[in-house]
Amino acid sequence: MRAKPLPGASLYLVLALLDGEQHGYALMGRVAELSDGAWRMGPGTLYGTLNRLVADGLIEETRIDRDESERRRYYALTSAGQAMAVQELRRLQTLVHRVARHLPAT
């Protein structure tokens, strides 16, 4: 049985974590970069989605860095998250392939 496609915010975070371990603020920037600015996550969406991905076993919190002014939580993909990223990329690739033939030639 195939898993359901990831919602947009989850998809972008999983894809952003393909680059390796990152903290929340860096992930916000990477998602904006991957989406050419179409997705801009605020802290509520970001951390709510990260918490769901942790609960689903797709990512894990790897460490917390603390200094005088802030606390940074770092996240990384689990093996299940890596597999989901591959599955989602293949799904999107198939979708693009199927509809691209209907586009007018440029």
Residue whose C-alpha is closest to residue 11's, from 31, 33, 32, 28: 31
Question: Does residue 2 fall inside a structural domain?
Answer: no
Q: What is the CATH number of the domain that holds 52?
A: 1.10.10.10
Which residue range(s) make up the domain with 51? Answer: 8-100
Domain count for the chain, please give it: 1
Prediction pTM value: 0.87
Question: Does residue 3 fall inside a structural domain?
Answer: no
Question: Does residue 37 fall inside a structural domain?
Answer: yes
pLDDT per position as a tens digit, 41-88 = 999 999 999 999 999 999 999 988 887 677 889 999 999 999 999 999
Question: Does residue 105 fall inside a structural domain?
Answer: no
